[in-house]
Each structure stands twice: as structure tokens, then as C-alpha cells.
Amino acid sequence: MGRTISGALIGLVCTLIFYFIPLVNSVAPFLGGLLGGYYADGGPGGGFKAGILMTIFMIIPGFLLGGILGVVLRSAPVLGGFIAASAFIVTVVIVAHTAIIGIIGSVIGALFAERKKV
């Protein structure tokens, strides 16, 4: 279980780093999940667990930052409520994108690690 948690944290950190690189940011969750799943090295099940944990670790700061942004911009005149609601929607979309693509990358990374042993 320790390698699964470590793999999830490695995947999360790599994903966050890759999000800042232009043209790579669209596949950042896949690459982060690939590296995290490869490190977790527990077959497809271990890769899936690492991807789920990576998603859970990504949800927490994502919703905290989206919530802070929504609270700060809620009191803005004219469009404040619209901006606050759209901050929540954008956060949900980004977390969903990270979850789906990251889990797929994590499972593929774990399959690569499993194949390396043969």
C-alpha cells in the first residue's frame, strides 16, 4: 500500500508540473498517471488504485482554490455571482479531466511496470 500512495503522490506532483508546460498541459494527467502507476507497480489493480488516490489528492486543493476564488470574486459588482459559479464549474471540469485521463495513464503505467518484470 505504501508504493501505491507514493505512486499517487508522484503522479500528482508530475501532473502539476506538467500543467505548467505549454502544449504538454493537455496530456499532463496522462503523463503524471503514467509515471505514478509505473512507480506503484501493482499491476492493473495497483495502477487503478494509484489513479484513484491521485484523483482524491487532486480534488482537495482543486476545490479549495476554486472555493477561495469563488468567495473572493462573489462580491464583485455586476458579474460577481456568474464568475463565482463559473469558477466552481471550471474546477469540476478540470478535476474530472484529471481523474479520467490520470486513471487511464496510471493503469497503463502499471501495465508497463508489470511487463518489465517478464
What is the pTM (predicted TM-score) of this model?
0.81
Please check the confidence at residue 75 and state whether its pLDDT lies above 80.
Answer: no
User: Could you give the angle at the alpha carbon of 37 between the alpha carbons of 93 and 43, nearest 5°?
Assistant: 125
For 11-68, how does the pLDDT look when each residue is reduced to its tens digit (9 = 90+)? 999 998 998 999 998 899 999 999 999 998 778 888 899 999 999 998 888 788 877 8
Q: Provide CB contacts within 8 A for 17, sequence distance 6+.
A: 32
- pLDDT above 90 for 105: yes
Q: How many CB atoms lie within 10 A of CB 13?
A: 15
pLDDT at 14: 92
- pLDDT band, residue 69 (cuts 50/70/90): confident
φ/ψ of residue 77, rounded to 5: -70, 150
